Amino acid sequence: MVLVGVVGAVLGLLAFGADAVGGMAGQVLVALTSSGFSWGLAAFLVGRFAAVRRQAIARAAVLLVVATLVYYALIVFVSRRWSGGYLEDGSPADMMGLLSVAKMTALWLFGSLVAGPVLGLLGHAVRSERTDAAALAAGVACGALSGEGWQSVAAVEPWRLLGLADAQEAEFVRGVVAGEVLRVALPVGVLLWLTLRHRLRGSWPVLLGAFVVSGGAGALCWYAIYRI
């Protein structure tokens, strides 16, 4: 559990560091370290390597909770991006900024306590269940990990964004597009790895169907989160 806490702290630190990197590299780093895919994959892998279900549930939840707390603690005490703004009447907006950080921390802590155990259980099921059940778990997990990517692609429409960017914006736009591609392609890569590693090719209808349904449901969930 201590090792899981350390990994969670590193995950939060990497996500915080990615926010400070600009340009195309920054967008790619955010996709790799500060996204639903990267944090969800970490919780899934923790569950996959757990010996029993109880460990999979507890460790995946702890991982995401620690990562969330470290990430927002760094925002509050290090970057202080919540401070320095002013309202229309000229008064400081620091309290409003802190309230916004508190709301987001509460939202993602709740998400960690819900999504963490689920992803941990799915990871454990991939390794311990029979072929069809393992294929179902792998498809659901990888579909969920791709949900943010599908939602973001639908919202950003990168094929249109590339055509609208001028010379000054080109690097940033390329970074955005690269990040969206990674959010969709990497879960597919994880699905292929699990299929080969656990010999799930015979259950490909279950695997593919679960991936599609879970990916659609995940995209709707991320749409709701962004609306909130």
pLDDT tens figures, 58-84: 999 999 999 999 999 999 999 888 777
pLDDT tens figures, 89-98: 777 778 888 8
Q: Residue 197 contacts by C-beta under 8 Å, 6 or more apart in sequence? A: none
pTM: 0.88
Residue-level pLDDT at 166: 63
Residue-level pLDDT at 142: 96
pLDDT tens figures, 155-200: 877 777 766 656 557 777 778 888 888 999 999 999 999 999 999 9
Confidence of residue 123 (pLDDT cuts 50, 70, 90): very high
Interatomic CA distance for residues 63 and 47, integer angstroms: 10
Measured at the alpha carbon of residue 227, what is the angle toward residues 225 and 163, in degrees to the nearest 5? 105
55: amino acid identity, one letter:
Q
SS3 146: helix
Could you tell me how many helices (H) and strands (E) the chain has, helices first? 9, 0
Confidence of residue 85 (pLDDT cuts 50, 70, 90): confident
Do residues 207 and 200 lie in contact, with contact meaning Cβ atoms separated by under 8 Å?
yes
Residue-level pLDDT at 165: 59
Q: Which two tokens stand for residue 65?
A: 């909770």
Residue-level pLDDT at 58: 96
**Mean pLDDT for all residues in the chain:** 90
Residue-level pLDDT at 162: 67
